[in-house]
Every structure is written in structure tokens, then in C-alpha cells.
Amino acid sequence: MSRELLLAFCLMLVIEGLVLFAAPRGWQATMREAAKLSPRALRLFGAAAIGVGLVALQLMH
């Protein structure tokens, strides 16, 4: 695993942890709403997040 990928993974864990630490009830509410979505909708949101992330990485690099 490359160093940059490992650093990105660590940063993702920090951000996820901050959300859970700062707003646990908000996170729970969001997860309840997400559970109501269809797998297709979740897949589309995931694909959009991947696309935005890849474009942002390319612009930053």
C-alpha cells in the first residue's frame, strides 16, 4: 500500500471520527434516513461521491 493511500485512509478515519464525536445524534438520524433509500439510490450517491472525489484529487494534484 502506498504511503499516500495510507495517509488518505488515516485522514478519512479522523474525519469520520470527528463526525461521530461531534454529532452522534445527527449521524444516527442520517443513517436512519439512508436506510430508507433503495440500494440503487445509495449506489448512485456512492458513484457521485467517487466521481467528485476523483475530480477533486486530479485538480489538487
What are the mean pLDDT values of the chain's consecutive 10-residue runs (61 residues total)? 89 94 95 96 96 92 81
Residue 41: the pLDDT is 96
Please give the Cα distance from 32 to 26 (Å, whole number). 10
Name the domain count of the chain: 1
CA distances from 1 to 4, 7, 9 (A): 8, 10, 11
CB of 34 closer than 8 Å to CB of 42: yes
Question: Per the structure block, which three cell numbers stand in for 31?
Answer: 443513517
pTM: 0.69
Residue 40: the pLDDT is 97
Residue 57: the pLDDT is 86
Residue 61: the pLDDT is 81
Question: Per the structure block, which three cell numbers stand in for 30?
Answer: 442520517
CB of 20 closer than 8 Å to CB of 27: yes
Domain that holds residue 43: 3-60
